[in-house]
Amino acid sequence: MMQRPPPEDFSLKETNPHLGGGKLTGDKLTSTYDLVEQMQYLYVRVVKAKDLPAKDVTGSCDPYVEVKLGNYKGTTRHFEKKSNPEWNQVFAFSKDRIQASTLDVIVKDKDFVKDDFMGKVSFDLNEIPKRVPPDSPLAPQWYRLEDRRGDKVKGELMLAVWMGTQADEAFPEAWHSDAATVSGMDGLANIRSKVYLSPKLWYLRVNVIEAQDLQPTDKGRYPDVFVKAVLGNQALRTRSSASRTINPMWNEDLMFVAAEPFEEHLVLSVEDRVAPNKDEILGRCVIPLHHVDRRLDHKPVNTRWFNLEKHVIVEGEKKKETKFASRIHMRICLEGGYHVLDESTHYSSDLRPTAKQLWKSSIGVLEVGILNAQGLMPMKTKDGRGTTDAYCVAKYGQKWVRTRTIIDSFTPKWNEQYTWEVFDPCTVITIGVFDNCHLHGGDKSVGSKDAKIGKVRIRLSTLETDRVYTHSYPLLVLYPNGVKKMGEIHLAVRFTCSSLLNMMHMYSQPLLPKMHYLHPLTVSQLDNLRHQATQIVSMRLSRAEPPLRKEVVEFMLDVGSHMWSMRRSKANFFRIMGVLSGLIAVGKWFDQICNWKNPITTVLIHILFIILVLYPELILPTIFLYLFLIGVWYYRWRPRHPPHMDTRLSHADSAHPDELDEEFDTFPTSRPSDIVRMRYDRLRSIAGRIQTVVGDLATQGERLQSLLSWRDPRATALFVIFCLIAAIVLYVTPFQVVALLTGFYVLRHPRFRHKLPSVPLNFFRRLPARTDCML
């Protein structure tokens, strides 16, 4: 049996890295890389060559360049039969791994048997200049080629060689010595850092109003007509028209998700259900989304009539009829006033409407430095040993970033920094770590998926402005056999606020754009639309180069978080109990006051109660002053670290293996029937308890309703007489006297109490409910 790891393994750790080369204090570093540790690289830019000597019998050469530094060797592509080639390729060698004192740039001639040496240029590493942005790029120079003895030979090579950091403009596209084992251009493309943008998503509203002059095949029956609309992979249909005529009416809205650029057309078909499983198409129309109106508010757009093209089958092909007798009346628009939800609502990173005209100005900037990871687990086996090729993906708003892949390392160092504009502080940035399974391109990578190593979420509203948070976050992943720590990721985060007033004003604004409140979508609509939006985003990003793969996007967007989970249900129940624990504690405290457990406290409560009754204008000021003092008192113990994944809160460290197996089951289930039966019975028992609680709540509410319903004539008569007497007494007696008497009665000494329930409670419990009418 696997032992439970100690909780401190899953904790957040504050760190003190050497950020920005030690220049973080005072003025910011001249480069944008002030939240990461500086990494030194030797850069070699091979631009071109001229006057290369002929080597072949044909009087030409097939040149390429080999850049050699110790055991590391990088090569350019080769040109056939060209004595003046242009490469313009950059090579980067990590200074930490340099063990040689000389850099050799060798020009060779590609040959079938053995490549011929044409000449070289050598550099002493101690004499290479340093460059720090924003210095201008180093200008390349012509160097005369030398033979192996150091004598000048024919041919010149244009080079630039310098020492720089990862802030250099050449860094993202450079060939790295760390990736020397990666083969092929596809493999190299898959390891480079990249910035992606989510496609611009719109809600498409199709209001189907009516159709005219339909021509069903069978004229003798009443048509059962509905409209089917298809956009890409999305298909929706209206209900069947209640007016079963050739001029049916629906007035029904269908909602789709569309992404720019609009590649798919909206295809509508009016269909007649002629048999239980047989539908006849009465007409179709195709609508390009480029021509659809866009609206920014709730004002309706103009309706339009569209001709329906009826198709007939002629020798296996569809042939359009020239006569357009049937029409359909619709109102179609692209909704720019909504925010298209493609993330879980609890972890949204962007809440702006689709239309850019409705965007408000940004309130600040979020900067994230992805420093390194520690203690990563081996994710795959290569040459008989475990290995991990890790990269990070960060998502905030429409901008996704992907770091470069660090090859074969359990302690990868990325030291890459990224920036996002912030429009709302109540948003979340998500950072995930993955293992790259597509290093070699070609057929080897087909079908393989990048494995998830872990994920971190940071809510911006929990961060202090202008403070640099440097922490090591645990990377926790839930597997069918339990929660597992896959390592730690080291991040530096800074949230800079451009206008404190604007940010404070955001807390008074609605969370979503106003269209979500003026014309709200139903919960089922939002669930379906979110599913479609995530599918579109994952499909578009997987078509980028290099692709951000579907499994990566779905893990970042929490695609499966809505599925049933016993573990998550328990966690949510205990979260509710945690919220109610404060009220329960107040109730217990008041019960102790009423039972005079501490006589001094009870006497003080009596005095406070008398003061508040005699001076009721002090009640609200007292409450708010109390809350103010509590808030000021708790300021001393305010959280100093960002929140992180909590295994105890999630019940991940105490979940039963069968519950986890159920959570990871597919939908529909793929487990054997006896296991499914056992889980179904367990779910029935839990649902039975919930059913009982809901029934008890309903019973209490029905008893309240029966006070005046005369369902029990004696009980209602007693209550009505009591209400009359209470009205007369309360009218005659001053309110302060009634309040004092009520308070003293509630706070009376235990010797004046009985263990039996009170008269009002006895009366209430005897009232009838509708349980007698339940089958």
**609, 612, 616, 619: CA torsion to nearest 10:** -100
The average pLDDT across 27-53 equals: 79
The average pLDDT across 93-97 equals: 86
More confident site: 7 or 101? 101
DSSP E strands in 15-79: the ranges are 40-50, 63-69, 72-75
- Distance in angstroms (rounded) separating the CA atoms of residues 358 and 299: 15
Dump pLDDT digits (tens) for 217-266. Answer: 777 788 889 999 999 999 999 999 888 888 899 999 999 999 999 989 99
Q: Residue 3: which pLDDT band, with cuts at 50, 70 and 90?
A: very low
The average pLDDT across 454-471 equals: 93
**Residue 48 pLDDT > 70, yes or no?**
yes
The average pLDDT across 343-357 equals: 91
Q: Residue 181: which pLDDT band, with cuts at 50, 70 and 90?
A: low
Burial readout 26-44 (b: 16 or more C-beta within 10 A, e: otherwise): eeebebebbbbbbbebbbb
The average pLDDT across 655-671 equals: 85
Mean pLDDT of the chain: 87
| DSSP per-residue letters across 500-521 | HHHHHHHTTS-SS-THHHHSPP
Q: Residue 447: which pLDDT band, with cuts at 50, 70 and 90?
A: low
Answer yes or no: are the C-beta atoms of 261 and 303 closer than 8 Å. no
Q: Enter the DSSP assignment of 316.
A: T
For the entire predicted model, the pTM comes to: 0.84
Q: To which residue do tokens 């990088």 refer?
A: 74
Dump pLDDT digits (tens) for 378-403. Answer: 998 887 888 999 999 999 999 999 99
Characterise 62 by phi-psi region: left (phi > 0), alpha (psi -120 to 50), beta (else): beta
**Three-state SS for 301?**
coil
- Distance in angstroms (rounded) separating the CA atoms of residues 553 and 559: 9
Dump pLDDT digits (tens) for 722-764. Answer: 999 999 999 999 988 988 998 888 888 888 888 888 888 999 9
More confident site: 373 or 246? 373
Q: What percent of the chain has pLDDT over 90?
A: 50
Q: How far is CA 343 from CA 419, 427, 527, 560, in A?
A: 20, 11, 11, 11
- Distance in angstroms (rounded) separating the CA atoms of residues 348 and 366: 15
Answer yes or no: are the C-beta atoms of 349 and 396 closer than 8 Å. yes
Answer yes or no: are the C-beta atoms of 613 and 736 closer than 8 Å. yes
- Distance in angstroms (rounded) separating the CA atoms of residues 654 and 454: 19
More confident site: 145 or 179? 145
Q: To which residue do tokens 């898959």 refer?
A: 190
**Residue 26 pLDDT > 60, yes or no?**
no
The average pLDDT across 55-66 equals: 78
My answer on whether omega of the bond before 668 falls inside 30° of 0, hence cis, is yes
pLDDT at position 313: 42
pLDDT at position 186: 61
Length of the chain: 775
Q: Residue 185: which pLDDT band, with cuts at 50, 70 and 90?
A: low
- Distance in angstroms (rounded) separating the CA atoms of residues 448 and 440: 12
Q: Residue 80: which pLDDT band, with cuts at 50, 70 and 90?
A: confident
Q: Residue 24: which pLDDT band, with cuts at 50, 70 and 90?
A: very low
pLDDT at position 728: 94
**Residue 1 pLDDT > 70, yes or no?**
no
